[in-house]
Structure 1
Amino acid sequence: MARIARVDWILKQPMVASLPELRSGNLEVSRVRIPPTMDVPITPRVRRLLDSAPMRRLASLSQLGLVSLVYPGATHSRLEHSLGVYANAVSLLRRLQDQGRQSEVADPVAQQAFLVAALVHDAGHWPFCHPIEDMGNALDYCDEGPIMKHEARVDAMLTDGPLASCLAKDWDCSADDVSAILCPNTIGRRRRLQISPSSISFYASCLSGPIDIDKLDYLQRDSLHAGVPYGRNFDAERLIGSLVQHPHEPRLAINEKGRTAAEMMVFGRYVMFSEVYWHHTVRAATAMLQRVIFELHYAGHHEHAVQGKSIDVRHWANDDDQQWIERLRTAARESQDVTMIQLVEGLFGPTRQLLKRVAQFNAESGDSIHSMLARKPYNWLVGCSNYLTNRMNDVLTKPLPSSLVLIDAPPVKLEVDINIDVIDRSDRSMKLGDVSPVASVLANRQFDNHVKRVRVFVPESVRSELRRSTDDLNGLISRWLLEVVNDDFGSMEF
């Protein structure tokens, strides 16, 4: 009954700027300037969150990690990105306020939870966590469990520690309210929810959906710092101005005026993945880092592993970038494994030495190989690369260690759908892919299969020798991979 009474009260309230972060002319609001020219409104309670240790730590974490090996300017921090997402959250709430639609999303407690979620959504990150999380269950810690995902780390921070203290002191929402917006699939185990499931669903879609305030920031920000135009070639102001609450479901949509901006954003995201996030050299570095982590994690635990003391990267989760890198370099040196040292120093040493692409396959030109290797468990890919090395060693003049033949493939986790609903003047909804020829191909064919290619990397000297043996290196690697997977290896479990 209390919940029903609260909802009934909300629906009767006028849509007013009840939060200090939304009030224009509020003398308590200061401004923080972030690139390119964004003013972020900061109230005292937001400042206390920003000054907490978990948020300050984000200033020493790179947003794009290994991308800076290809795009030297891409060294901006996760704190800068978090501020941008929070600023977008404020703009969105003001947009909803201007619409005047009466609904549960007008609940001030839900709005507060959304603002906090936008600000702290990356607080659980650690250096290079996305490549490590993409390895799935490959880093098995037996009785101690797998690596905690960064979302789960935020959940823990909201219930104990500096963020929890700030939340209890300054905000009306609970930790469960914030966490439910960040991870809506956990709503069933939340016991201290003060906001409705509809509010959770709506604000979760605002933070992670086909078009959301997170993508609105990182596409533009990453594009700016990388020095490429791809992620900035859409009208962000127009798009934010077109965001609406779906008339029939608790999620974010756009009106007809935002269709062109949405089309351009979808295409910009496609190009950013293709040319920046999954650039072949970025992925070479990523594959090198993943293999080092894998080999050092299992050091001495199986016959093909490097010898020495194994590493536990869970204990490095609170490090900044430089601390984490030095731990890895030290672990590689202590392993006394020449290959591990070569890979780590090639990434983080005084001279950049990356493995080279010897073959690549996508959904158009190499569908059989792509579909065979995409979204396979990381352990399986390691096993496959070991067998592929044997094929290579049959033609090479000098045997090659299997840890220098790396297969990089789209991870198990898929990217979020890009097919947002477009709402017309009669409140009818249509999928963006149904009204946009630009978006229809990407909306109706899996995004990952286009932008995330399967690639094989080897040392440059090996690539040169293999090229001398054939005029069709991609075809040769393809035949070897088909042989490897169709042999006994294909049915093995890792």
Structure 2
Amino acid sequence: MPRTEFLYYFLQVCGKMSHPYRAIPELFDLQAGGPLIRIPHQLDVPFTPRVRSLVDTAEFQRLRQITQLGLAARIYPGATHTRFEHALGVFHNAIQYLWQLGKDARFAATVDPHQAEVLMVAALLHDLGHWPFCHPIEDMGLADLPPHEQFAAEFLAPDRELGMVLRDEWNIQPEEVLDVLVAKTDSTALRLMRSVLSGPIDIDKMDYLERDSLHAGVPYGRNFDRARLIQSLLVNEAGDGLAISAKGKTAAELMVFARYVMFSEVYWHHAVRSATCMFARSFFELHQSLDLKSLFKLSEFDVIRELRQTAVGTPVASLLDGLFGAKRQLHKRVLELSLYQTPDLYRQVAGRPYRELVNVARRLSERVSQELGCEVQSTDLLIDAPPLHKEVEFKVSIYHPKERRYHALSEVSPVVNALARTQFDDYVKRVRLFAAPPLAKQLAGRREFTDWLDEASAHS
């Protein structure tokens, strides 16, 4: 008897084949050890012929050329992992979630096997429309940016290779995948599927926390029991989203804290934000001279080259040289404001539209130039502040079988309750001012700098 047939028979005997999604090859291969592709850290991702057919398309292969954390690699040298690797990790999580959730009769009754396959494909393709440095660019909220959903729709067009593979190999229409990624219609099944992909305990966060932590070389994002959390998954009381059983409480608490610390120590590390701020200001000054629709289809390397060529002879050329030139030279932190130390000034600056922050920085540069008696360029001082949109709050229910009742996790967890009672963004995202290194030395110890910022902010 061939090995695959033997394993299939063995699983049948063991009762595994009573699973409602037993006909999905990738779920079977996860249990039986079929074809796979390996990604860090020691993850075996089912790699059936139809998965390979999606991964090998030009539309998916472009994700190899887009790093997951972009500018963070200037501070964490190992953080050069790509959205290609991340997408495979999220796909792996989708399979694990479906294996567990298929044991929940309410989930299986709501999400049929075809929809489960749509969810798997949506997991694999969830970053399809992203471009290089997507997050710092989108955080600026510029009016003339094409939405990344537009690119996803274009790459999934019926006449593109990816769209044809979906229809021919998976019997899935591209519109079904897009509807999960960007809600156009509504149903209980779709809400439940979207909760798996984008929610408090979704497959995306489950991967990026661990993967970013691994490649950045820090432990913070891996300090939670992902296996225990997955084993505790079930459907919420309303039947349209995920919840966890009581046995997953501690794992969920640790995941909440892992996310908090990763934002505090990695994503919003002051040097990472300096690099991000330099890039954002450069893009802001150049974007009207660029064909954005064409630019965003390029690899990360080609985007950098295009930006640097366009910047020649402009004030932001030095910023891009400091980021991507032969010698790294980041702006230095000269002031940091937090909600709990300087609440009034923090609120005055945080959450302002990016264009207003640029104006404040220009006014502040003029004032500093007057006070120091030297020329200060408009790009010598940069303001970094939390963007207008907020991070998704961690709101999830926990089911207590003895009571047969659902409770908000924040009600039964002091850890989650502490975070739920405060605004996540206000405590992990600081307002910071960065200055070019020579100017930063001159500003060191100038206490009146806070007053100058207050005046510049009030008049902008």
Quick check: TM above 0.5?
yes
Worse-superposed segment, 77-86 or 242-251: 242-251
Residue pair 2:166, 2:174 contacting (<8 A) in 1 also = yes
CA distance in 1, matches of 2:244, 2:31: 29
One-letter amino acid matched to 2:173: S
CA distance in 1, matches of 2:255, 2:211: 13
2:15 equivalent in structure 1: none
Q: CA deviation at 1:25?
A: 7.9
Pair 1:92 & 2:92 matched: no
Quickly say closer, same or farther: Cα 1:16–1:208, change in 2 above 3 A: closer
CA distance in 1, matches of 2:107, 2:229: 22
- List runs of 5+ in structure 2 lacking aligned partners: 1-17
Residue pair 2:101, 2:108 contacting (<8 A) in 1 also = no
1:419 equivalent in structure 2: 395
Pair 1:240 & 2:214 matched: no
1:108 equivalent in structure 2: 113
Pair 1:163 & 2:162 matched: yes
Q: CA deviation at 1:101?
A: 3.8
1:287 equivalent in structure 2: 277
2:423 equivalent in structure 1: 446
Match of 1:480 among 442, 452, 455: 452
Residue pair 1:20, 1:26 contacting (<8 A) in 2 also = no
One-letter amino acid matched to 2:365: T
CA distance in 2, matches of 1:65, 1:35: 19
1:167-224 deviations in whole A, cap 9, x for unaligned? 111223332321222123x327xxxxxxxx1111001011111111100000000000
Worse-superposed segment, 13-22 or 319-328: 13-22
Q: CA deviation at 1:26?
A: 8.4
Pair 1:204 & 2:203 matched: no
- List runs of 5+ in structure 1 lacking aligned partners: 1-12, 141-145, 189-196, 299-309, 490-494
1:254-307 deviations in whole A, cap 9, x for unaligned? 111111011011101011011101111111111111111111235xxxxxxxxx
Q: CA deviation at 1:155?
A: 2.6
Match of 1:313 among 272, 281, 292: 292
- Superposition pairs of residues 22-171 of structure 1, within 5 angstroms: 22-24=27-29, 29-101=34-106, 103-137=108-142, 140=143, 146-160=144-158, 161-171=160-170
Match of 1:458 among 426, 435, 452: 435
Residue pair 1:355, 1:459 contacting (<8 A) in 2 also = yes
2:241 equivalent in structure 1: 251
- Superposition pairs of residues 389-404 of structure 1, within 5 angstroms: 389-404=365-380
Quickly say closer, same or farther: Cα 1:26–1:226, change in 2 above 3 A: closer
Match of 1:329 among 308, 326, 329: 308
1:194 equivalent in structure 2: none
Q: CA deviation at 1:115?
A: 0.4
Pair 1:223 & 2:213 matched: yes
Worse-superposed segment, 47-56 or 442-451: 442-451
Q: CA RMSD in A?
A: 1.9
2:323 equivalent in structure 1: 347
Residue pair 2:380, 2:439 contacting (<8 A) in 1 also = no
CA distance in 2, matches of 1:28, 1:225: 27
Q: CA deviation at 1:481?
A: 2.3
CA distance in 1, matches of 2:178, 2:107: 25
CA distance in 2, matches of 1:349, 1:16: 51
CA distance in 2, matches of 1:372, 1:130: 23
CA distance in 1, matches of 2:29, 2:35: 11
CA distance in 2, matches of 1:250, 1:90: 19
Residue pair 2:383, 2:431 contacting (<8 A) in 1 also = yes
Q: After the TM superposition, list the runs of 4 or more consecutive aligned residues in structure 1 that deviate by more than 3 angstroms.
A: 24-29, 99-106
Residue pair 1:22, 1:90 contacting (<8 A) in 2 also = yes
CA distance in 2, matches of 1:421, 1:82: 27
Residue pair 1:183, 1:204 contacting (<8 A) in 2 also = no
Residue pair 1:135, 1:378 contacting (<8 A) in 2 also = yes
Quickly say closer, same or farther: Cα 1:14–1:289, change in 2 above 3 A: closer
Q: CA deviation at 1:93?
A: 0.5
CA distance in 2, matches of 1:379, 1:174: 41
3-state SS of the aligned residue for 2:432? strand
3-state SS of the aligned residue for 1:402? coil
1:378-399 deviations in whole A, cap 9, x for unaligned? 1111111111112211212311
CA distance in 1, matches of 2:80, 2:53: 25
3-state SS of the aligned residue for 1:394? helix
Q: CA deviation at 1:427?
A: 3.8
Residue pair 1:407, 1:456 contacting (<8 A) in 2 also = yes
Worse-superposed segment, 273-282 or 22-31: 22-31
CA distance in 1, matches of 2:377, 2:247: 57
Quickly say closer, same or farther: Cα 1:16–1:115, change in 2 above 3 A: closer
CA distance in 1, matches of 2:458, 2:149: 38
Tell me the matched-pair count.
441
Residue pair 1:105, 1:111 contacting (<8 A) in 2 also = no
1:132-156 deviations in whole A, cap 9, x for unaligned? 111112xx4xxxxx22222332133
Residue pair 1:15, 1:106 contacting (<8 A) in 2 also = no
Q: CA deviation at 1:14?
A: 7.5
CA distance in 2, matches of 1:446, 1:410: 12
Residue pair 2:26, 2:46 contacting (<8 A) in 1 also = yes
3-state SS of the aligned residue for 1:430? strand
1:7 equivalent in structure 2: none
